[in-house]
Amino acid sequence: MDSERIEVKDSTMGFMEFLKIVMRYAVLLLLLFPFFTHAAVYKCEINGKIKYQEAPCIDGDAEQLQITPPPSKTFKPGVTGIRESERQWLKKRKAERTRRIKYRQKEAARAQAAERQKKQDEQTCNNYKAKEDYYDDLARTGRSSVQKRRYRARADYYAQKGKPYCK
């Protein structure tokens, strides 16, 4: 029964994809349209006066002129780019921005290292305190005075050793 199953395709999905393709080409054509159009200008002589207009002359005696649209306002043929002073200003600005970014990264790394060191010191302090407490308890419960002195000395050793880490 599974091998005989008929697969039904959604016909609207194919149409939607077709519509997407058509819309892409339509947008592309609309974007390129201004580059293909040139203004049609006709030179007409009416009552001895020369007149320029978009539509052909009424009497049919029109001379069509080929006029290309003026270049955009941002295009300046004499300027090949930015000035040297502007280029140097941009270079300094970029260097300053890079310097600030590196400084912030170093500060963040220092802060992270300080935090790690603080946690490590805290853990070391806790370890020394635990050892000190352990030997202190043994010194209190030791059987002989020699044993008690050894344990007391060991507890004092760990107390001294842990002082720099316990703040």
Which pLDDT score, from 0 to 100, does residue 80 have? 61
Separation between Cα atoms, residue 25 and residue 32, nearest integer Å: 10
Separate counts of helices (H) and strands (E) for the chain: 3, 3
Going by DSSP bridges, is the β-strand pair 49-53/39-46 parallel, antiparallel, or unpaired?
A: antiparallel
CA distance 85 to 111: 39
Backbone angles phi, psi at 61, to 5 degrees: -95, 75
- The pLDDT assigned to 111 comes to 96
Whole-number pLDDT of residue 1: 47
Note the pLDDT of residue 109: 96
Digits of tens for pLDDT over the chain (167 positions)? 455 555 555 555 577 788 788 888 877 776 666 555 555 777 787 777 888 777 777 776 666 666 666 666 665 555 566 788 888 899 999 999 999 999 999 999 999 999 999 999 999 999 999 988 988 888 888 678 888 888 888 888 888 888 888 87
- Amino acid type, 32: L
What's residue 117's pLDDT? 94
Residues 49-65: pLDDT tens digits? 888 777 777 776 666 66
